[in-house]
Structure 1
Amino acid sequence: MTAALKTCSLGDGPALTLVHGWGLNAGVWEDLARALADDFQVHRVDLPGHGAAADETRLGDLDTLADRLAVTLPDAGSTLVGWSLGALVALQAAARHPQRVHRVILVAGTPRFVQAPDWPHAMRLPILDAFAQGLAAQYQVTLNRFLALQFHGLPDAQATLKTLRGRLLDSPPTPKALTEGLGLLRDMDLRPTLAALPCPVHAVFGEYDTLVPAAAETSFRALRPTMRTAVIEGAGHAPFLSRPAEFEAILRSFMHD
């Protein structure tokens, strides 16, 4: 039997399931969940090896993560909001369990995180390789570098970083889960999955995101011309933290496609 993911739920209304990114946990969504709880039933999941699920040690492969996310969803189904690494999990869950997913909203997420000749607006492979090497030596230092990169160039970067680092230190991920997560970011190419999904798919980008550049918007629409996209000015890789009001407004608009 497939085990459900550990989940924290709040509010009442249409279901909205939030999937965090690499190295973090469900706590990263805490402020957004409170803001949405009057109108939505908000579920925040912890991926294996992260947050409340750190006792599992390992993250696991993408198919298993997708299946575990699907059995976590309400019987009536849910919208999936996947941030960064969580975008891969959300896309795969929607592909494998279409009856459980109403729509997918990608937040600074992409079907392919590394560059290819036909996919230029993505990370260079050496950046990910450098993180992997750093993890082998001292993963917490590498995580802090990763977080700093997310908010590079933002005028309020230090305040946002302080909040994010606090939530990370409260529930640190396991080294094995971090390594496996980097492997998914490096190896997965879900572009055919994105193009073929039967449910609506939308995407939110940060103007200053250095990991999933806003310029990728054009590439997304080439794969899926009908998808709605938005770029949040002044935001980095975590727009729901750096520009919460703007992000909430866009998310609410995407819930009425």
Structure 2
Amino acid sequence: MDLTITRTGDAGPDVMLVHGWAMHGGIFGGLVDALAMRCRVHVVDLPGHGRTSAFVPGDLDPARCAAAIAAATPPATWVGWSLGGLVSMHGALAHAGHVRGLVAIAASPRFVTADDWPHGVPASVFAGFAAGLEANFQHAIERFLALETLGSPHAQDELRALRARVFEHGDPSREALREGLDILDREDVRARLPGLAVPSCWIAGRRDRIVPPAAMQWAAEASPRGRFVELPTGHAPFLSEADAVATQVFAVIDETAAP
């Protein structure tokens, strides 16, 4: 599996950042700056996204992605946003000796609703985006970006930031986008969270229209060493609250270093 991973900083504990659907690692610019004061920050572009243009069907499988990232990077605290949060959850569950701590940002253990899970969006939402990819590729991505910022007090600024970044390294792979939507539709790691051995922080956006804060609170309570934090944002808290997110990452790093 091809991956592009960049590093910022030469000293301190290692942190791995994993982005969400249709984006790439460049979206974490402000958070990287905040973290690099104390950490060596590794930022991945997932297959078919950003500078990792190569994509083979199956490459976005969260377990496969997590294994590939772990093989290419030193032990670290993993920070995953949205789809990247699912990758990071699989990393923390399967590679606890390598993933020292987990910070999940607006990343639910299950993104779609079910009879026993009201904390998500209807499956029709992702089906609609999948249909949109076939009809009008860029318009479908624009709709998703708008949904990510909907409800945020800084919605216009955040939407401009997402729009400026999403095509910065060319179009993401259509095949990767289809596979990513399918993963968001079907993935469910709720039953595995009680086995999460590492410290974890679950950061929700109070006005998030994709991942309700209740999903993140549930995940924190299901995780033996979990902690829930809510910020006054939409689906991308690190865009307007980079320092607040960095503070939570530092807290997890400190917890991993404690006896």
Q: Taking structure 2 as the reference length, what is the TM-score of the superposition? A: 0.92
Q: 1:152·1:236 contact (CA, 8 Å) conserved in 2?
A: yes
Q: 1:207·1:231 contact (CA, 8 Å) conserved in 2?
A: yes
Query: What residue number does 2:161 align with?
Result: 163
Q: Distance between the aligned counterparts of 1:40 and 1:209, measured in 2?
A: 28
Query: What residue number does 1:69 align with?
Result: 69
> Which stretches in structure 2 are left out of the alignment for 5+ residues?
none
Per-residue deviation, 1:255 = 2.4
Q: 1:57·1:174 contact (CA, 8 Å) conserved in 2?
A: no
Per-residue deviation, 1:33 = 0.8
Q: 2:20·2:82 contact (CA, 8 Å) conserved in 1?
A: yes
Letter in structure 2 aligned against 1:71: A
Task: Report runs of 4+ in structure 1 exceeding 6 Å deviation.
Answer: none
Q: 1:24·1:51 contact (CA, 8 Å) conserved in 2?
A: yes
Partner SS for 2:104: strand
User: Percent of pairs identical after alignment?
Assistant: 38
**CA-based RMSD:** 1.6
Q: Distance between the aligned counterparts of 1:218 and 1:117, measured in 2?
A: 19
Partner SS for 2:250: helix
Partner SS for 1:142: helix
Partner SS for 2:110: coil
- For residues 91 and 132 of structure 1, do their structure 2 counterparts lie closer, same or farther at Cα, with a shift above 3 Å needed? same
User: Which of 201, 221, 240 lines up with 1:242 in the alignment?
Assistant: 240
The answer to whether structure 1 residue 35 and structure 2 residue 34 are counterparts is yes
Letter in structure 2 aligned against 1:68: A
Query: What residue number does 1:140 align with?
Result: 138
Letter in structure 2 aligned against 1:95: L
The answer to whether structure 1 residue 189 and structure 2 residue 181 are counterparts is no
Give per-residue Cα distances to partners, 1:9-39, cap 9 Å, x unaligned: 0112100000000000010112211221121
Query: What residue number does 1:256 align with?
Result: 254
- For residues 218 and 10 of structure 1, do their structure 2 counterparts lie closer, same or farther at Cα, with a shift above 3 Å needed? closer
Query: What residue number does 2:6 align with?
Result: 8
Query: What residue number does 2:55 align with?
Result: 56
Partner SS for 1:256: helix
Q: 1:79·1:104 contact (CA, 8 Å) conserved in 2?
A: yes
Q: 1:113·1:185 contact (CA, 8 Å) conserved in 2?
A: yes
- For residues 60 and 243 of structure 1, do their structure 2 counterparts lie closer, same or farther at Cα, with a shift above 3 Å needed? closer
Q: 2:31·2:245 contact (CA, 8 Å) conserved in 1?
A: no
Letter in structure 2 aligned against 1:166: A
Q: 2:201·2:220 contact (CA, 8 Å) conserved in 1?
A: no
The answer to whether structure 1 residue 86 and structure 2 residue 84 are counterparts is yes
Per-residue deviation, 1:242 = 2.4
Letter in structure 1 aligned against 2:73: L
Which is further off, 149-158 or 236-245? 149-158
Letter in structure 1 aligned against 2:45: D
Q: 2:25·2:50 contact (CA, 8 Å) conserved in 1?
A: yes
Give per-residue Cα distances to partners, 1:168-219, cap 9 Å, x unaligned: 1212311000000001101111112222121112110001001111122442
Q: Distance between the aligned counterparts of 2:31 and 2:61, measured in 1?
A: 28
Q: Distance between the aligned counterparts of 1:91 and 1:154, measured in 2?
A: 25
Q: Taking structure 1 as the reference length, what is the TM-score of the superposition? A: 0.92
Letter in structure 2 aligned against 1:192: A
- For residues 64 and 114 of structure 1, do their structure 2 counterparts lie closer, same or farther at Cα, with a shift above 3 Å needed? same
Letter in structure 1 aligned against 2:138: Q
Partner SS for 1:149: helix
> Which stretches in structure 1 are left out of the alignment for 5+ residues?
none
Q: 1:111·1:190 contact (CA, 8 Å) conserved in 2?
A: yes
Per-residue deviation, 1:107 = 0.3
